[in-house]
Structure 1
Amino acid sequence: MTKVTAAQLTTARGCVLGLMLGDAIGATGGNVPASGTLRATSAGQLACFTLEGLIRADVRAAHRGICHPPSVVWRSYHRWATIQGISGVKPLPDEDSPTGWLSRVPALAERRGSAPATVAALQRQTMGTIDKPAGTSTGAHALSRTLPVGLYPSCNPAEIAALTHTGEALGAAWLGATVVRLLAAGNRLNDALESARLHAAGWFQAAERSLAPALTAARSRPGMLHELIRLAPDARAVSALAGGAYTAASFPGPETVREALLFAASAGDGGHAVRVAGALLGTVHGPTPFRSTGCPGWSWPGRPTPWPGIL
């Protein structure tokens, strides 16, 4: 199994915590309560099962010397659907019941919104590939649940997105996870975004065309709501990528993480852009800016109460 350093672990924790907090804040539309618990959605749940699949793939490769990570992640999504009790999805043939720690976490067994493209692919028992993607959806779930793949460089992010989605969503997932990979390697945020965009040119043109105006707007018109709404008008993966990148580039510092997530959540796109922004900023800064204690920047103005927890 790949040896993980303390710095890599901090980066991974920041990425996942930022994604999950962004997911939970996005579910509120930016109207976060002053106390209580924020509830992550099915997008956050699937991101957790992506990570589980990647960890299983790494262990399998270490012990057997060979592994196909997309197949292992596909099985993890199957476990998610099974513990959710989704109709038409039964336990895997070699598992009497779902195995692994995540399968025993009650919050992950709760229905937290729909994931129609993923569910449809699982019900059809059809695992898509880049050459033959599953279904017709270009929705943002392909991107949000694939972002953690950037922490596991030996896996092609587009292959994970293609398990359940198609078209421009594959490019958006590849671009988003590539930015995470570059940030985890120590690149600065703007450099990582620009480098990923240049590498995508010619490969994933639709996704690259969505990212380019986001970077231009962040340089000349940062933090403007009308720009965010223009860049992220809907629930497509390319919209989420553009909105998340614009937000992260507009609020790049650790002291403005709270402002960034609330800003992205106001896009009105169903909370997709804020997941991307949270994952990117978390990869850059680690978990510290997201902690609910010891970080006054996360308290509501005029109140000593910390940021609510996530469930």
Structure 2
Amino acid sequence: MTRVTAEQLATARGCVLGLMLGDAIGAAGGTVPASGPLRATSAGQLACFTMDGLIRAHVRHRHRGICHPPSVVWESYRSWAAIQGVPGFEVGGDSQRPAGWLAKVPALAERRGSAPATAAALQRRKIGTIDDPNGTSTGAHALTRTLPVALYPCEPAEMAALTHAGDAVAAAGLAGAVIRLLAGGHGLVEALESVARDAGDWSEASERSLVPALAAARSGPAALPELARLAPDAKAVSALAGGVYTTACFPGRETVHEALLFAASAGDGGHAATVAGALLGTAHGPDALPVDWLSRLELAWTADTLARDLVTELQDSPSGGEYFPPTDPWWRARYPG
């Protein structure tokens, strides 16, 4: 008997599929082809490996009683680097051993952008922390790849600090706080405004992203010049500002299609659309996402499986544990902890 609820599944699937759909639409720059697959970027690929690491971390905790989730996610990123052919990483080489099913998905081995800050941080062989981050990059990948961490009992900013620093870490913390409120049943605009009012340690980044984005949304209807002002580049705070502005202007489930096209028009490399997709998907569930696009999403099955498995692992622990037997004998082969 599973303890997973329909609401938990809808929240996780909406968040992850919305993220991946926003990533693909953002990559198309808002000009979506009439047919053919909608492909992921390196940001979407890394988000998949984030979820893989989270599931493996929980499996490890269940079987060994202790675990440091950022370290396990770091190893999952090393698996991504190995199958991508990043210099310095070999499949099965060093202490890094790609394992589990995700490393066997062909589309995840294809180069879809370089993710230079993440690759460089992995090559430095140093696990960054919030107090001692790895490198100086404030790029958007720290935010987009860590959006699913809010579904797990861990701080998204810790995962961002593995490879990025400064405002990028803060942006991940802010977005995670919003997603957690949405998962708890808060309305979209309510959640955004709540985090903007009480940003805590991330108040400076909030003043540069959440606060101006919400003020712009309150001042009038969605406007492309305003989006360009808020999200002018590929930094994490720009992606957060653009994504928040979009969702505040298009908060309804019936306008997700319009919202993603609007966000993809930002000059930030498509990252605002990724953020908007994750927020709208979390708020409204997967059924609100455009079916015509979702059916063409290259990594839809992969992302949906990861979302379902993350919730299942947290609620049911199919691989068992020290004091109870497994309900799925193959779970640890898929997610070795």
* Fold agreement, TM-score > 0.5: yes
AA partner of residue 298 (structure 2): I
Q: SS of the residue aligned with 2:55? A: helix
Q: Are the counterparts in 2 of residues 23 and 40 from structure 1 also a CA contact under 8 Å?
A: yes
Query: Could you say what secondary structure the match of 2:208 adopts?
Result: helix
Note if contact 2:44-2:145 (Cα within 8 Å) is conserved in structure 1.
yes
Partner of 1:259: 258
Residues 232-269 of structure 1: CA deviation (Å, up to 9, x unaligned): 11111000000000101111111100000000001121
Q: Tell me by how many angstroms 1:155 deviates.
A: 0.7
Please say if residues 138 and 167 of structure 1, whose CA atoms lie closer than 8 Å, have aligned partners that are also in contact. Answer: yes
Write the letter of the residue equivalent to 2:52: E
Map of 1:303 onto structure 2:
none
CA contact (8 A) 2:23 2:274 kept: yes
Residue 195 of structure 1, CA deviation: 1.6
Cα distance in 2 for residues equivalent to 1:126 and 1:204? 28
- Name the counterpart of 2:42: 42
The alignment partner of 1:88 has SS state of: coil
Deviation at 1:58, TM superposition (A): 1.5
User: Structure 2: any 5+ residue segments left out of the alignment?
Assistant: 300-337
Cα distance in 2, alignment partners of residues 104 and 4 from structure 1:
27
**Shift of residue 222, structure 1, vs aligned partner:** 3.1
Amino acid at match of 1:234: D
1:210-229 Cα distance to aligned partner (Å, 9 max, x none) = 21010111122231111111
User: In structure 2, what is the equivalent of residue 302 of structure 1?
Assistant: none
Shift of 1:208: 3.7
Could you tell me which residue of structure 2 aligns to residue 112 of structure 1?
112
| Distance in 2 between residues matched to 1:208 and 1:71, nearest whole Å | 31
Q: Report how far residue 310 of structure 1 moved.
A: 2.8
Seen in structure 2, the aligned counterparts of structure 1 residues 4 and 68 have a Cα distance that, compared at 3 Å, is farther
Q: Which residue of 2 aligns with 1:61?
A: 61
Q: Matched residues in 1 for 2:168 and 2:290: separation?
A: 31
Q: Which structure 1 segments of 5+ residues have no match?
A: 299-305
Check whether the contact 1:35–1:307 (CA below 8 A) recurs between aligned residues.
Answer: no
Q: Distance in 1 between matches of 2:253 and 2:171?
A: 25
CA contact (8 A) 1:232 1:269 kept: yes
Question: Aligned residue for 1:133?
Answer: 133
C-alpha change, 1:202 and 1:163, in structure 2 (3 Å) is: closer
What fraction of aligned residue pairs are identical, expressed as a percent? 70
Are 2:76 and 2:98, in contact at CA under 8 Å, matched by a contact in 1?
A: no
One-letter amino acid of the counterpart of residue 82, structure 1 = A
1:243 aligns with 2:231: no
Q: TM-score, normalised by structure 1?
A: 0.91
Partner of 1:281: 280
What CA deviation, in whole Å up to 9, does each residue of 1:69-118 have, x standing for no partner? 111110110011111111112346455x4111110100001110110111
Q: Report the number of matched residues.
A: 297
Q: Mark the CA change 1:92 to 1:220 in structure 2 (over 3 Å): closer, same or farther.
A: farther
- Determine the structure 2 residue equivalent to 1:29: 29
CA distance in 2 between partners of 1:184 and 1:192 (Å): 10
Residues 123-272 of structure 1 correspond to what in structure 2 (within 5 A)?
123-152=123-152, 154-272=153-271
Distance 2:240 2:67 in 1: 29
Q: Is contact 1:12–1:151 with CA below 8 Å preserved after alignment?
A: yes
Tell me which moved more, 201-210 or 217-226: 201-210
String of CA shifts for 1:153-183, please: whole Å, max 9, x gaps.
x211111000000011110010011111110
Q: TM-score, normalised by structure 2?
A: 0.84
Q: Structure 2: which amino acid aligns with 1:180?
A: I
Q: Distance in 2 between matches of 1:138 and 1:30?
A: 24
Provide the C-alpha distance between the structure 2 equivalents of 1:228 and 1:111, rounded to a whole number of angstroms.
Answer: 29
Q: Secondary structure at the match of 1:37?
A: coil
List per-residue Cα deviations over 1:16-39 (Å, max 9, x = no partner): 111101100111111101111111
Cα distance in structure 2, aligned partners of 1:260 and 1:220 = 18
Aligned to 2:89: 89
CA–CA separation in structure 2 for the residues paired with 1:232 and 1:89 = 34
2:257, 2:290 within 8 Å by CA — same for their partners in 1?
no
Q: Which residue of 2 aligns with 1:20?
A: 20
Deviation for aligned residue 1:65: 2.3
Root-mean-square deviation (Å): 1.7
What residue is the counterpart of 2:322 in the other structure?
none
Q: Distance in 1 between matches of 2:297 and 2:67?
A: 36
Q: CA deviation at 1:3?
A: 4.9
Number of the residue aligned with 2:325? none
Distance, in Å, in 1 between the alignment partners of 2:47 and 2:296 is: 21
Aligned to 2:313: none
CA distance in 1 between partners of 2:276 and 2:8 (Å): 19
